[in-house]
Amino acid sequence: MMIVELIDGDDFRDRLVALGLDVASGASPEVCAERAAAAYAAGELAGLPGLVDDLSRRRDVVLPAVRDAIATQLLPVLGR
């Protein structure tokens, strides 16, 4: 049996924090994505497109709340 590590809201937040985003612990995926979109639009978070690309490739292990936050908040700011 294969065990798959799912990407939940905490994993999503941790990845954004690793890129330099300051977001409170326990923040929802929607809040994290809103903050990331604002930071990217302000010229910060240069690594955001790479993170979104990585998570998009791994869509099958990304939980729906994270996928929705990416689709509604991040893809538009990235022009996708």
- Residue 13 falls inside a structural domain: yes
Q: Which residues of 15-48 are buried (b: 16+ CB within 10 A; e: fewer)?
A: bbeebebebeeebebebbbbbbbebbeeeebebb
In the prediction, which pLDDT does 5 show? 86
Q: Please determine, for residue 2, whether its predicted confidence score (pLDDT) is greater than 90.
A: no
Question: What pTM, to 2 d.p., does this model score?
Answer: 0.91
pLDDT, tens only, 5-58: 899 999 999 999 999 999 999 999 999 999 999 999 999 999 999 999 999 999
- Write down the number of H helices and E strands in the chain: 5, 0
pLDDT attached to residue 1: 63
22: containing domain: 9-77
Distance, CA of 17 to CA of 72 (rounded, Å): 20
Decide if 14 is inside a domain. yes
Overall number of domains in the chain? 1
